[in-house]
Amino acid sequence: QVQLVESGGGLVQAGGSLRLSCAASGRTFNTYRMGWFRQAPEKEREFVAAFSLSGISPYYADSAKGRFTISRDNAKNTVYLQMNSLKPEDTAVYYCAADKSPYGDYARPDSYDYWGQGTQVTVSS
């Protein structure tokens, strides 16, 4: 069982930055694939970023490439999402997720087993 708690969301102007954190419980944190998703009002939850199995080459949605960076600190059981050059269309609730299996599709929400409660990110124009 893994419990995930996100933090770091807020209101920021377009072009600004935020760093989201996801603190995980459990001793086996470093064996899970970790990902970030987001959901805007009346839209489906969409993939943002995730680690590859090796943790060396992360995956990013096209909308996140060049602006967002996912990282993890296994000693702190924490995953981060650094978001730069934010746009109004980035406004959403951001969720971190943990996947027990290395075989799931990293971009599909239903591949993940555990979810945090989400943190709101609002980007004003």
Helix (H, G, I), strand (E, B) or coil at 32: coil
- pLDDT digit string, tens, across residues 38-71: 999 999 999 999 986 566 779 999 999 999 999 9
CA distance 83 to 26: 26
Burial of 37 (0-12, 13-18, 19+ CB in 10 A): buried
Label residue 104 by pLDDT band (50, 70, 90): confident
Task: Residue 108: count other Cβ atoms within 10 Å of its Cβ.
Answer: 13
Report helix, strand and coil shares of the chain as percent, to nearest 5: 10, 45, 45
What is the amino acid identity at position 123? V
